[in-house]
Structure 1
Amino acid sequence: MKKKPFFLMAIAVVIVAAVVIYALNSSSPQEPIARKEHDIISNLNAKDIVAKMNDKEKIGQLVMYTPLRNQESFSKEMIQEYYIGSVLLNDQKVSAKEAATFNNQLQQWASESRLGIPMFITGDLEYGAAQRVPGEATVLPRQMAIGATQNVEYAYQAAKITAAEAKAMGFHWSYSPVADVYSNPLNSVIGVRSFGEDTKLVNEMVAAEVKGYKSEGMISSAKHFPGHGDTSFDSHTTLATVTYSEDVLRKVHLPPFKTAIDQGIESIMTSHIIIQAIDPELPATLSKKVLTGLLRDELGFQGIIVTDAMVMEAISNNWGAGEAAVMAINAGADIIMANGSASDQLDTVDSLYQALQDGKITRSRIDESVERIITYKLENKMFDHRFVDIDHATMVVGSKDHWEISEQIAQDSITLLKNVNVLPFDPQTNESTLIVSVAYAEQIAETVRKVSKGEVISYQAARATGEKLDVSQESIDAALEQAQSADRIIVFTYSDSQIAQGQIDLVNQLQGTGKPVVAVSLGNPNDILGYPGVSAYLATYALDTWYWMTPIPVSWDAAVRVIFGANPKGKLPVTISSAYPLGFGLSYP
């Protein structure tokens, strides 16, 4: 009996030795020690994961790269050699299946890196997943259209639909809602992307969208902090300065961001504009006074601060992508949106890495941001749920239920501003209708054919390929010739701030035919200021400054239905003039 403990001890020693020998013999030379780190990393907290990362891996988490078309090797290199932690997807010529497949591939490459940290997959999804997958995903009305409905529930539903479709394809993060208060009618870059000019309305809509994203477990991002709504220059091309007082900043522009923070929004995107009242020297993206002093310390935001695109000329022309990236991190940003060419993106990574080695960025500043990023990846269970079901994605994206909600939002947004005994048109007569438009004329005509019994003719009055649309007198003459054989005319105009003179002439000369004329603005609702004598006028808020990128047919379809009898319900979310004030909107008797 006394020999039993010794006998058991001997057996235990043999077992332990056998386990060690087995482990040594079974270790494949192709499987590095790092793979063992990969196996346990998802079970650690963010601080412990950061402690296991080397400098190159940490810098990678601070950079969001943009894939280059038809260059998958670049994506693989960025993920596996530079350990990039986030990706911005801009390609608009993909299907839901292709998007989900590509996103799975990105996550596969990330899983094969040393620590296997998953990637944030992000995109601008202001009007739905269709902004990235326009052929299949549900197209939602622009935010100003939602503002025109005055229905907060619609903002919630729009965000929820966006999140459901985007998540099904592997996205984690939407750069929406736009929290900018549209206080300058010459602001072409924001325009109909804003909910409107009323801070209270914007607050309510922003809060609802944050809730909608959260309901589907998707990260959202309020932009463009601390407010891009009062600029008259586009920061894609110009470094703008806003000169309003600090009081205006705090009363008008900051509240929607504070509302988003109070709702627990995970991310805020910076603006590339100089807020003179806070920092007269540096744009918000590069300003410690704005990002750390105002956003972190005063407003108490603890989420991820992501920069807007750093190749926008407001930044790149003045500092360069690399130098600006270092400045932004030191100012308090967590993730640098590095897009542009391969050299631009690599310059961002290299500049940040070298700045860390040279002590231009402190290790504590880097670790703070990396820990915040990893925390959100853990909270979103990205380590355990890296991939999406491609078949499921194709079922969710563009579902019938989603389209029905989008169509209802659009229908309730159409705003009738003027009607001098013209509307509604009778859809049952055999009268012919001429559709004249500066964009999407034939697509709009197809909608009219569905609701109108008479003949429908379309004429595209402008064929510009650039950002601005105008109409030549030759085109106007052609439209007038078409009008001779039409019984009634619907003319669609577009502007992102001020309507071009050629479009004004087009409407006025069509009005001069003496036939019933209805004008419809596809973009900024201010178009009526250019042709105040028109008999009837509706606003759709359908197209922003990048009108050619994704059409919004639900909005012009809704306008057509109103023209042919559906009751208009929209109310102006902006002031056009004393005749058309905030909240104005007619309806049929």
Structure 2
Amino acid sequence: MDIITYSDEQLAGQRLMVGFEGTELNQDLEFLIDEIKVGGIILFARNLTNPRQIKDLCLSAQEYARSRGQPPLLIAIDQEGGQVARLRKPFTQFAGNPDMEGRPDAERFAQITAAELAEVGINMNMAPVLDIAFNGSESIMAGRSFGNDPLWVADLGAAVIEHLQKNGIMSVAKHFPGIGRTTLDSHLDRPDLDIDLNTLKTTDLLPFEAAIQSKVAGIMLAHIRCQKLDAQWPASLSPLIAGDLLRNRMGFDGIVLTDDLDMGAIKKHYDIKSAIHQILLADIDMALICHSRPDIENAFNEILNSQANSQTLKTKGEESVRRIQALKRKYL
């Protein structure tokens, strides 16, 4: 399908990546694919029992999308290794990023993980974590980060990206512009960070620059408010951070995703319509909504209405869908 032939509903739905309940193609998932026309789905423990079931789920979802005239689905998962690994045994279990001793470890993790994801029909990994654990064990990312040295994190992160993608799995680096300095969990509330751009450039942003050079497929935005970059909006809703810094200054032309909009950092401060409107203004390609179906429907309707009422937002939306489509053509 070419974007020229996309309906307004498809242009809206392609910009959503969503979670769902169940372990098979059910009415809930069919509704999301057929009516909301989602661009992607993300899998959690609640969707997974064993390799055969996961493969059946992914294949049946893709087949259903095809049968309904929809583009192929991005099918994502958080498989970082260590603390955050949705796929349990018999899938290979890794100690996690803090235990990696060099590029060979990173390459091995990426190669094995890519093969196992591809075998069951998953095509995108929400990894690697590129946050730098500056505060040691106090950092919210201490158990998930490669470490506290920006160049080390950049090197191992680039190795993971390159070897995931060389083996057919899209990599999404996270959480831009970096949440390793914080101690507040954005699942619970919105962290604030009082740091200037020059400091970020020489530290937190270095791994993301390496990721961009490695042609990472996607970058996920953090729900963190960097007050010296944007005093009002968290990165995941910020035109200054997502649009100006990541797109314009750093030159990233892959897809930009939010972290889960169901997290406390967003839900405690913004309603879904306000959040979606900001996302559309900020050149963010995909909104990630992992749990709440009412929020998914409301987000879809907000994108649809915004496209209808603003030529600027419709044009931005078409550019986003072109980026999503280019990724699907390359990998799917």
Q: What does residue 52 of structure 1 align with?
A: 5
Residues 1:88 and 2:42 are matched in the alignment? yes
| One of 76, 87, 107 as aligned partner of 1:122 | 76
Q: 1:258 aligns with which of 209, 231, 236?
A: 209
- For residue 240 of structure 1, the aligned residue among 191, 202, 205 is 191
Task: Give deviations 1:385-432, integer Å, cap 9, x for gaps.
Answer: xxxxxxxxxxxxxxxxxxxxxxxxxxxxxxxxxxxxxxxxxxxxxxxx
- d(CA) in 2 for partners of 1:99, 1:167: 11
Distance 2:153 2:42 in 1: 26
Are the aligned partners of 2:262 and 2:292 in contact in 1 as well (CA < 8 Å)?
no
* Alignment equivalent of 1:313, drawn from 255, 264, 270: 264
1:79 is aligned to 2:26: no
Give the CA deviation at 1:74.
0.8
How far apart are residue 85 of structure 1 and its match?
1.2
Deviation at 1:339, TM superposition (A): 2.0
Find the counterpart in structure 1 of residue 16 from structure 2: 63
Q: CA deviation at 1:109?
A: 1.1
Counterparts of 1:55 and 1:323, CA distance in 2: 20
Give the alignment partner of residue 178 of structure 1, picking from 105, 120, 129.
129
TM-score, normalised to structure 1, is 0.54
Verify the 8 A CA contact 1:183 1:229 in the aligned structure 2: yes
Q: Which amino acid aligns with 2:284?
A: A
Could you say what secondary structure the match of 1:244 adopts?
coil
What is the aligned partner in structure 1 of residue 275 from structure 2? 324
Query: Retained in 1: the 8 A contact 2:174–2:220?
Result: yes
Equivalent position of 1:144 in the other structure = 98
Judged with a 3 Å threshold, the aligned counterparts in structure 2 of structure 1 residues 290 and 362 are, in CA distance, closer, same or farther, namely: same
Name 2:300's counterpart in structure 1. 349
The alpha-carbon deviation at position 70 of structure 1 amounts to 6.1
Amino acid at match of 2:258: T
Deviations 1:218-267 (A, max 9, x none): 11011000011101111111111111232221111000000000111111
The answer on whether the counterparts of 1:338 and 1:348 sit within 8 Å (CA) in structure 2 is: no
8 A contact 1:175–1:220 mirrored in 2: yes
C-alpha contact 2:132 2:149 (8 A) present in aligned 1:
yes
2:110 pairs with one of 154, 159, 167: 159
**Poorly superposed stretches of 4+, deviation over 6 Å:** none
1:455-506 deviations in whole A, cap 9, x for unaligned? xxxxxxxxxxxxxxxxxxxxxxxxxxxxxxxxxxxxxxxxxxxxxxxxxxxx
Code of the aligned partner of 1:102? L
Give the unaligned 5+ runs of structure 2: none
Q: Are the counterparts in 2 of residues 186 and 232 from structure 1 also a CA contact under 8 Å?
A: no
* Corresponding residue of 1:487: none
Q: Residue 308 of structure 2 contacts residue 314 of structure 2 at CA under 8 Å; is this kept in 1?
A: no
Once the two structures are superposed, what CA deviation does each residue of 1:58-86 show, in whole Å capped at 9, x if it has no partner? Answer: 11100011111368201001101121110
Equivalent in the alignment of 1:208: 159
Contact 1:326 1:361 in 2 (8 A): no
Distance 2:79 2:143 in 1: 14
Mapped to 1, the partners of 2:157 and 2:128 lie a distance apart of: 6
- Match among 122, 129, 143 for residue 192 of structure 1: 143
Aligned to 2:327, the other structure's residue is in SS state helix
Aligned residues: 330
CA contact (8 A) 2:259 2:288 kept: yes
Change over 3 Å in CA distance of 1:288–1:94 after alignment to 2: same
User: What SS class does the counterpart of residue 282 from structure 1 fall into?
Assistant: coil
CA distance in 2, matches of 1:135, 1:156: 20
Name the SS for the 1:307 alignment partner. Answer: strand
Q: Contact (CA 8 Å) 1:244, 1:276: kept in 2 or not?
A: yes
How many angstroms apart in 2 are the aligned matches of 1:246 and 1:75? 42
Uncovered stretches (5+) of structure 1, i.e. residues with no partner: 1-40, 42-48, 383-589
How far apart, in 2, do the equivalents of 1:233 and 1:82 lie?
34
**Which of the pair has more CA radius of gyration?**
1
Counterpart contact for 1:207–1:259, Cα < 8 Å: yes
Whole-angstrom CA distance in 2 between matches of 1:159 and 1:334:
25
